[in-house]
Amino acid sequence: MSDVPLETSISTAARPPEDAALLAVPFAADLDPPVGLPVPAAALLACYEAKGEAGEIVEVPVARGEAVGRILLYGIGDGSADALRKAGAAVTRRGRGREEIAVVPPPGASAAAVAAFTEGALLAAYTFRIGETAPSSRPVASIRLVTGTPGDDGGTGDATETGETGTGDARETGETGTAAVESGIARGRAVAGAVALARDLANTPASVKTPAWLAERAAEQGVATRIWDERELRAGGFGGILAVGQGSVSPPRLIQLSYEPEGEATGHVVLVGKGITYDTGGLSLKPTEGMKFMKTDMAGGAVVIAVLGALAALGARVRVTGLVAAAENSFSGTAQRPSDVITQYGGRTVEVLNTDAEGRLVMADALAYADAELDPDVMVDIATLTGAIGIALGKGLGALFASDDGLAAELAGAGEASGERLWRMPLIDDYVPALESSVADLANIEVGSAYGAGSITAALFLREFTGGRPWAHLDIAGVGRSTVDEGLSAKGATGFGVRLLLEWLSGR
């Protein structure tokens, strides 16, 4: 994986610096905060009506010689991985504009707990800005996790002692001590770095982010890469990718990334990502409001690139091939027209009734190619595919469609464990007639309005190109972008899908 420039570094320290202006220590409903506070802990928490909920912060001034420092009491809730991510995010956000925060890790300091805390801290520190950032708005530059006993200067006790609070997964098992903290930091940093890469790729303006530029960034991830240019796409019969990209001055690309684990692989997974570097809607032109965020319409492709780049760092034992179908959906005299009939990879013909339903066209080529040439055990695609899914599930859940119940359960479990939750949606075979065309094998959108289930019919369209293999489709149109800067998310691309796919793949 290329070095992702996370703005906040995180490391360990045996003791908090004596002049630490900000020291963060954990507390929960059944966990007393450390000694060294200016008033008894119970009275202090009662004054603030603090309950120790995940992400709750109580800030207390303390004497630091002749200066004044501050202790942040950060709530860890039930100690679950999700709660610790929220806690890490809250600490980082409170430290914005500072050079350094010293942090006593969550009780137990298992690798899993530290990884979750690190993920949350680094994801909340993410920023993307072209130009100068005001100092007060910059994320904290450095976080030091304290692994030893601070002693009498702040009285926080041994950070490696096993705590007794909570029943969350992140603290139930796992070796403790400095080695576990270092291990947790490494995993958390690898995952957060991958998310940051996906966010960076999606947030980059389309004036820079052409399909060729995206292919160049993919080739930097330290795995074997193959790129099809427009000539090779034409020779290979990738009619969907070519049709979507033919209206743009920036030609399309198909990007293939290949990860091979050390030793015998446990299986072969193909990931397919939608890589529309900008989506005007084509001749079925979007309104201005609908176009404002379309530089992030390749968020699924960004997730695939980031995941492939991070697998080695996490020691994944499964073989993974990533395919990103990249094109700019523009309008011009050469753009495809509503009513055009195109031939997808493998020979299926599609009547294009709406050029703004373009993501499924490029992904159909990639899925058909994977089925015909790569012989995967499982295929999973991810895309900002339909606006309808945002209406159905809002901003908190990604949509999961799957042809296999076991695969659906695995992905849903990985979503819960990673904090990127999925909701399974139905593949209703009674809706397949919606895609019938009178002049081609398929239509790219519903003919008429008898069914009205736009996200379901889009998934059914993609299923047609999977060859009957175990397959899942993740529609992240509702969760792939954030309009607010809070919690683990920054305004703009979220990188949703990176954490859940890394969780799933590293456990196979």
Give the CATH number of the domain where residue 115 resides.
3.40.220.10
Q: Considering only CA atoms, which of 269, 363, 270, 356 is closest in space to residue 318?
A: 269
pLDDT of residue 154: 40
- Burial readout 88-108 (b: 16 or more C-beta within 10 A, e: otherwise): bbbbbbbbeebebbbbbbbbb
Residues 222 and 335 reside in one and the same domain: yes
Query: Is 138 domain-assigned?
Result: yes
**Residue 286 is among the residues annotated as catalytic for this protein:** yes
Q: Are residues 152 and 110 in the same domain?
A: yes
Which H or E run contains 296? Answer: none
Range of the structural domain that residue 295 is part of: 204-506
Question: Which of 138, 360, 421, 463 is labelled catalytic?
Answer: 360
Q: What is the CATH number of the domain that holds 337?
A: 3.40.630.10
The answer to the question of residue 439 being in a domain is yes
Higher per-residue pLDDT: 151 or 144: 144
pLDDT of residue 48: 86
Winning range, highest mean pLDDT, from 9-23, 70-84, 166-180: 70-84
Domain total of the chain: 2
Is the pLDDT at 472 greater than 80? The verdict is yes
Candidate from 18-27, 115-124, 281-290 with smallest mean pLDDT: 18-27
Asked if 39 and 95 sit in the same domain, the reply is yes
List 286, 317, 395, 491, catalytic entry:
286
Is the overall model pTM greater than 0.75, yes or no?
yes
Give me the pLDDT at residue 198, please.
98
In a shared domain, residues 457 and 323: yes
Q: Does the residue 44 lie in any domain?
A: yes
**Structural domain includes residue 436:** yes
- pLDDT for residue 26 is more than 80: yes
* Domain presence at residue 132: yes
Q: Is residue 229 located within the same domain as residue 185? A: no
319 has catalytic annotation: no
Q: Is the pLDDT of residue 162 over 70?
A: no
With respect to residue 4, please indicate whether it lies within any of the assigned structural domains: no
> How far apart are alpha carbons 34 and 31 in whole angstroms?
9
Give the model confidence (pLDDT) of 307-338 as tens digits: 999 999 999 999 999 999 999 999 999 999 99
Q: What is the pLDDT of residue 68?
A: 81
| Whole-number average pLDDT of the chain | 90
From 78, 123, 51, select the one nearest 485 (Cα to Cα): 123
Instruction: Check the CA dihedral 234-235-236-237 and report its sign.
Output: positive
For residue 172, is it within any domain?
no
Give the three-state DSSP class for 116. helix
Do 95 and 211 fall into the same domain?
no
Question: How confident is the model over 339-395, as pLDDT tens digits?
Answer: 999 999 999 999 999 999 999 999 999 999 999 999 999 999 999 999 999 999 999
- pLDDT for position 167: 34
Higher pLDDT, 71 or 416: 416
Q: Is residue 169 part of a domain?
A: no
